[in-house]
Amino acid sequence: MTLIKSISGIRGTIGGPVDENLTPIDAVKFAAAYGTWLKSQRDKDEYLVVVGRDARISGEMIQSLVMQTLVGLGIDVIDLGLSTTPTVEIAVPLEHADGGIILTASHNPKQWNALKLLNAKGEFLNGAEGQKILEIADSNTMTFAEVDDLGKITVNDAYIDIHIDEVLDLELVNVKAIKEANFKVVVDGVNSTGGIAIPLLLERLGVEAVKLYCDPTGHFPHNPEPLKEHLGDLAKAVVKNHADFGIVVDPDVDRLAFMDETGEMFGEEYTLVACADYVLSKTPGNTVSNMSSTRALRDVTEKHGGTYEASAVGEVNVVALMKKNNVVIGGEGNGGIIYPESHYGRDALVGVALFLSLLAEKKMKVSALRASYPNYFMSKKKIQLTPGLDVDGILKTMEANYSGEKLTTIDGVKIDFADSWVHLRKSNTEPIIRIYTEAPSQEAADALADKIIGEIKAIANI
């Protein structure tokens, strides 16, 4: 099945049958459901939605369908055109809009697209709101505007520059030190909108940017998920150009990973660790990441006298716990930086600026910076589910079997051992159980994952 309807939005592959793939009819139906839900939130004469997209090939088509559907509902639209997820997020409150839509399938391959839905704060909808939109779409109860009440579209292509201004105005972004450091950086923009935004940010910071795949054609030159196995060209370019480090983002620029000066990955999990280390050194406080993220963030937080807590997986869950705990920085181990001084959304531009500030002040190589942090290794495996398998029963049995250890059960089962952990959870989008482990060596992480998989298979008789 390649159309996934969930509380976090709708995503799928382009083409094919209606309600099985992301077709024009599906795009219109869910845009109409979102617009209908938006109008139900408050009774007023005019409504406004900000819409932007990443550079994937289907983006212009899907955006046109979505915007014209909103117009048909009597909703005005600000069209940001080629944009980033965090750019749309900051534009919503700046425009006093009622919501926002980003057309992006994030790190999925080029045949995918999706509607990511925002509230009036420019933040992702919660589970109840997402469920209501799914119900509206299924009920087919949308009512459209009469001819004199149609919405209008206004184009605004200035928001990436406005976003950069907002980043540079952050108190902890040390523009002076960055400019004095004379950094040289290779940027892999995966031929999407990061290829526009990140080089523009670096230029404003006085950083020499060597562009790699920064033409926003939507023809991704490699798998767009920013993992080591996809980034051989970036590694070669960093070494060849004698760069200080490399930057890679995903197509909608909310995930960020670095590569050191030798062409080795800094580690996607350590993007948040490094940025948090910098922020906590200036503004001590608490941190949050999700339960499948590295323990190194806890270590760094405690070093600075703060408290770390883990949320259920999912950006909306991370943000909710961040607000509850009044944290100074948080995010996800997939390279997602959430810095409340800017906004409550993952933002690679903010992450780049904080990382450069840290590096400029410490005056050290990226490899040395990585070596200064606790060293953990992760294993990410999965078990395919068969029909009739009682996943909840399996997780309950594992919980009972490890009742003597520290357990967290807000999202599957997480078992914390002295020097390692394992997180078991049912996927929201695939018929699988995810098994994530972390330990002081890759061998130990893999061995722990294999041990747990063996135990689950024994319980399930598979």
Contact between 454 and 383 (Cβ < 8 Å) = no
Q: Pairing relation of β-strands 245-249 and 184-188? A: parallel
Active-site entry in 8, 58, 83, 106: 106
Name every residue whose Cβ is closer than 8 Å to that of residue 13 and which is 6 or more positions away in sequence: 2, 3, 21, 22, 111, 112
Question: What Cα–Cα distance (Å) separates residue 134 from each residue in 38, 196, 227, 381, 383?
Answer: 13, 34, 32, 30, 28
Handedness of CA 446, 451, 455, 461 (dihedral sign): positive
Cα–Cα distance, 246 to 189 (Å, whole number): 11
Q: List helix spans (H) across 194-335.
A: 194-204, 232-240, 269-282, 296-303, 315-325
DSSP three-state, residue 163: helix
In the numeric block, which tokens belong to residue 202? 């670096």
Burial of 97 (0-12, 13-18, 19+ CB in 10 A): buried
In the numeric block, which tokens belong to residue 6? 């969930």
Cα–Cα distance, 167 to 152 (Å, whole number): 30
In the numeric block, which tokens belong to residue 109? 């391959």
Q: Which helix (H) or strand (E) holds 143?
A: none
Contact between 258 and 275 (Cβ < 8 Å) = no
Residue 441 is a catalytic residue: no
In the numeric block, which tokens belong to residue 426? 């049912």
- Render 253-268 in DSSP notation, one character per residue: S--EEEE-TTS-B--T
DSSP three-state, residue 13: strand
Contact between 415 and 422 (Cβ < 8 Å) = yes
In angstroms, how far is the first alpha carbon of the chain from the final one?
24
Greatest distance between any 2 Cα atoms in the chain: 67
Residues that are catalytic: 106
